[in-house]
Structure 1
Amino acid sequence: MYNKICMISYDFSMRGVYLLTFLSVAMFGGSYLAGSVPFAFSMSEHRMRLASIFGAGLLVGTALSVIIPEGVESLYNSITGFFLFDHCIISVNSRTIDLNDKMHGHDGNHSVIHKSVGLSLVVGFIFMLLIDQATRIVTSTGGEKSRYKLTATVGLIVHAAADGVALGSVSMASRSNVQFIIFLAIMLHKAPAAFGLVSFLLVEGFERFRVRRHLLAFSLAAPITAIVTFYILLLVGQQSSSLSFTTGILMLFSGGTFLYVATVHILPELLNSNSHSHHQLNQGEIIGNLSVVHSVFTVKELLAIIVGAILPAFLASHHSH
């Protein structure tokens, strides 16, 4: 019986590895191709702006309707759904006696989970806030231009790494529909970011081969972090009973980072883009690819945000039935 359960668990893990590998390769290729566009020709800034706005809506919808619910469910599964035993995931139904022995501690466990949900979201939000502010401070006070350009790249790499944590943690749950939703949300804001980064570096006079190095580092950040996160969770799952709990914490942390990037970083920068000129791009403009002068969102842009926010909830509910 245990051997059969072990094989099922191993099969789920391998399927997660294969899909994660495919999505990571696609994520790298998509980011690198989007960043390579400025080398050949300039795209319509209006279309890039619309893609950034849609991507921001998608990030909000993914965080609120996919990542956070999945993270909460994973946390509760850590105490009511599954136990890790002898390196296998075993159903609670087969360990009724052990579960009854632990029932008196469930109220305390639920209290811990309630606190963990909010704390994980806040930590993720604050983490991106600190990274964003540190990047801006160094950018505004740094003397050398090369350091300024490097800081812009490092800031984007950290953003991308946080995206990789989200994809890697949800891959451990072996839910392909959720993986695809998060992948779509990541790509729809990574592509404009890659395009904006390369455009910014070229305008600042960086040599093309050095720009490609920056683009390569940015494109690799999320895939590598996703794979590393997955294998760390796999290692944790093989050593203790905290796999579901750790996965849930990371998903909620990622939800906090998604909410920050969308609501504090991308959308406000897009709204305030009328205060910047085409040749004076800053870190925020790289993220959102801002160079078109707008003070309010148009009807089309509002629809893009709304559709982007609703789409993840629709896809998640559609695939869950």
Structure 2
Amino acid sequence: MNLTYLILILAATIGGGMIPMLFKRIHPNLPIYLLAFTGAFLFGVTILHLLPEVFHTLDHSAGIYIVLGFFLQVFLQQLSHGMEHGHTHVPGANHQHVAILPLLIGLSIHAFMEGIPLGFHYEDKSALPSLMLGVMAHKVPEALTLITVMLHAGQSRARLWRILILFSLVTPLSAVLAAQLGDRFHVITDSLVYLVALVVGAFLHISTTIFYESGTKHHELSRQKVLAIAVGITLAFLTLIFE
């Protein structure tokens, strides 16, 4: 387990969460294009690195766990209301109540799932650094959306910091837990690849939802959003140089 990777992910999460706390007015297109870029990058990393790894290890049965992971994410977004792919659901004139606990539970489970593949030992040496970059990039808009919702829910500054710090620790702690248990117990080692396949399914759901839904009306793709997606995919291809 590379400690530097975990520190970078922690810093990216805290940095993303600080944006709405430091800037009262954020351009409405910033989260949209940031999500499009990071979603595309995560999609590319998943397809280029994680998908071949799990199919190499699990053969055709990998598809079963990927599909299960896809629909597990569908269930989780009922709790998080899609914050992991950009839905803010801030209270408006006719909706003053935000159910904080389900949002935090759903998003924290998602964050925990993101950390599991970081504790896995890959045959493809480029997989782990590429995945770290993908998760780190995704953490910025994810934390930005979380804190934006918490701000609109009227949370105090002190509580915002507690929420942000605790949320920032979930993914790194998940990675450490997966790595430590995987190194000590063979049954965990053998099970990790199945969990990685589940996370692959979740990543595919989140990234494709970002492409066609988050921050848009009528699910359109603007030229700017297409450009952000193209940049993300291009950078994902460039991770192949880690091989």
Q: Same fold (TM over 0.5)?
A: yes
Q: Is the Cα–Cα contact under 8 Å of residues 37 and 195 in structure 1 kept in the other structure? A: yes
- Give the aligned partner of residue 255 of structure 1: 200
Offset at residue 134 of structure 1 (A): 4.2
2:130 matched residue in structure 1:
181
1:157 corresponds to 2:157: no
- Residues 37/314 of structure 1: CA separation in 2 closer, same or farther (3 Å cut): closer
Cα deviations across residues 160-185 of structure 1 (Å, max 9, x unaligned)?
1111012222xx23755322211111
Contact 1:66 1:312 in 2 (8 A): no
Secondary structure of the residue that 1:270 maps to in structure 2?
A: coil
User: What percent of counterpart residues are identical?
Assistant: 24
Match for 2:34 among 48, 51, 68? Answer: 51
Aligned position for 1:315 = 239
Seen in structure 2, the aligned counterparts of structure 1 residues 174 and 72 have a Cα distance that, compared at 3 Å, is closer
Structure 2: how far apart are the matches of 1:234 and 1:26? Answer: 23
Moved more, 172-181 or 153-162: 172-181
Aligned partner of 2:64 in structure 1 is 119
Q: Deviations over 1:274-302 (max 9, x none)?
A: 48xxxxxxxxxxxxxxxxxxx52222311
Larger radius of gyration, structure 1 or 2?
Answer: 1
Given that 2:49 and 2:126 are in contact with CA atoms closer than 8 Å, whether structure 1 keeps it comes out as no
Q: In the alignment, is the contact (CA less than 8 A) between 1:181 and 1:315 conserved in 2?
A: yes
Task: Give the counterpart of 2:184 among 235, 238, 242.
Answer: 235
Asked if 1:130 is matched to 2:70, the reply is no
How far is the alpha carbon of 1:144 from its aligned partner? 9.4
Equivalent of residue 10 in structure 2, options 16, 28, 31: 28
**TM-fit CA distance, 1:191:** 0.6
Residue 214 (1) aligns with residue 163 (2): yes
How many residues matched? 231
TM-score by length of 1: 0.65
1:310 Cα deviation (Å)? 4.0
Counterpart in the other structure of 2:92 = none
Cα separation, partners in 2 of 1:134 and 1:204, compared to 1, 3 Å = closer
Flag structure 2 segments of 5+ consecutive residues without an equivalent.
82-88, 90-94
- Say if 2:44 and 2:236, in contact at 8 Å, map to a contact too: yes
Highest relative contact order (Cα 8 Å, sep 6+), 1 or 2? 2
Q: Using the alignment, how far apart are the partners of 2:184 and 2:222 within structure 1?
A: 48
Change (3 A) 1:173 1:163: same
User: Which of 31, 46, 55 pairs up with 1:72?
Assistant: 55
What is the SS of the residue equivalent to 1:296?
coil
Output the CA distance in 2 between the equivalents of 1:58 and 1:36: 22
